[in-house]
Amino acid sequence: MASKNKPETVDVVVLGMGPGGESVAGELAAAGLSVVGVEARLVGGECPYYGCIPSKMMIRAGNVMAEALRIPDLAGTVEVAPDFTQVARRIRTEGTDNWDDTVAAERFTAKGGVLVRGTGRLTGPREVTVSTHDGGHRTFRARLAIVLNPGTNPAVPEVPGLAGTPFWTNREAVQAADAPASMVVWGGGPIAVELAQAFTRFGTKVTMVLRGSRLLTREEPETSELLASVLRNEGVKILTNKALTSVTHAQGRFQLSFSDGISPSSLRAEQLLVATGRAQALAEVGLSAAEISWDLKGAPALDQYLQLANGLYLIGDAAGAGAFTHMSMYQGNIVAGHILARHLEQADRGTADNHAVPRVTFTDPEIGVVGLTESQARDAGLSVRVGLTKVSESARGWIHGAGNDGFIKVIEDADAGVLVGATSVGPMGGEVLSMLTLAVHARIPVSTLESMIYAYPTFHRAIPEALKNLH
Residue 5 has pLDDT above 80, yes or no: no
Structure confidence at residue 1 as a pLDDT band (50, 70, 90): very low
Q: Are 422 and 441 in contact (CB under 8 A)?
A: no
Q: In whole angstroms, what is the distance from residue 423 CA to residue 409 CA?
A: 5
pLDDT at 298: 84
Q: In whole angstroms, what is the distance from residue 452 CA to residue 446 CA?
A: 10
Q: Are 308 and 292 in contact (CB under 8 A)?
A: yes
Kindly report the pTM of this predicted structure. Answer: 0.95
Tens digits of residue pLDDT in 194-249: 999 999 999 999 999 999 999 999 999 999 999 999 999 999 999 999 999 999 99
Q: In whole angstroms, what is the distance from residue 392 CA to residue 29 CA?
A: 50
Nearest in space to 174 (alpha carbons), one of 153, 199, 138: 199
Q: What is each CA distance from 326 to 3, 65, 115, 311, in whole angstroms? A: 38, 28, 23, 23
CB atoms within 10 A of CB 279: 13
Structure confidence at residue 262 as a pLDDT band (50, 70, 90): confident
Domains in the chain with CATH codes: 2-44+101-153+280-343 (3.50.50.60), 170-276 (3.50.50.60), 358-468 (3.30.390.30)
Binding residues for NAD(+), by number, are 187-194, 277
Residue 470 has pLDDT above 70, yes or no: yes
Amino acid 126 reads: R
Tens digits of residue pLDDT in 63-95: 999 999 999 999 999 999 999 999 999 999 999
Q: In whole angstroms, what is the distance from residue 332 CA to residue 22 CA?
A: 9
Q: Average pLDDT over the chain, rounded to whole? A: 96
Structure confidence at residue 3 as a pLDDT band (50, 70, 90): very low
Handedness of CA 304, 310, 311, 313 (dihedral sign): negative
Which three-class secondary structure state does DSSP give residue 319?
Answer: helix
Handedness of CA 414, 416, 417, 420 (dihedral sign): negative
Write the DSSP string, 256-306. Answer: EEEE-SS-EEEEEESEEEE-S-EEE-GGGG-GGGGT----SSS-----TT-
CA dihedral 106, 111, 113, 117 (to 10 degrees): -10
What is the mean predicted confidence (pLDDT) over 123-133?
Answer: 96
pLDDT at 397: 96
Which three-class secondary structure state does DSSP give residue 182?
Answer: strand
pLDDT at 345: 85
Nearest in space to 33 (alpha carbons), one of 335, 353, 451: 335
Tens digits of residue pLDDT in 345-389: 888 899 999 999 999 999 999 999 999 999 999 999 999 999 999
pLDDT at 2: 42
Q: How far apart are the first and last CA of the chain?
A: 65
Tens digits of residue pLDDT in 397-452: 999 999 999 999 999 999 999 999 999 999 999 999 999 999 999 999 999 999 99
pLDDT at 296: 85
What value, to the nearest 5°, has the Cα angle with vertex 385 and ends 384 and 387?
140
Residue 29 has pLDDT above 90, yes or no: yes
pLDDT at 4: 56
pLDDT at 22: 98
Binding residues, by number, are 56, 120, 187-194, 277, 317
**Which pairs from 466-470 meet CB under 8 Å and 24+ separation?**
466/387, 466/388, 466/389, 466/408, 466/409, 466/410, 467/387, 467/410, 468/387, 468/389, 469/387, 469/388, 469/389, 470/385, 470/386, 470/387, 470/410, 470/412, 470/446
pLDDT at 297: 84
Tens digits of residue pLDDT in 296-341: 888 899 999 999 999 999 999 999 999 999 999 999 999 999 999 9
Which residues of 150-226 form beta strands (DSSP E)?
152-154, 182-186, 205-209
Residue 464 has pLDDT above 60, yes or no: yes
Residue 457: cis peptide before it, omega within 30 degrees of 0:
yes
Binding residues for FAD, by number, are 56, 120, 317
On the CB side of 154, CA atoms within 13 Å amount to 22
Q: At what angle do helices 52-69 and 190-200 cross, to 10 degrees?
A: 40
Structure confidence at residue 55 as a pLDDT band (50, 70, 90): very high
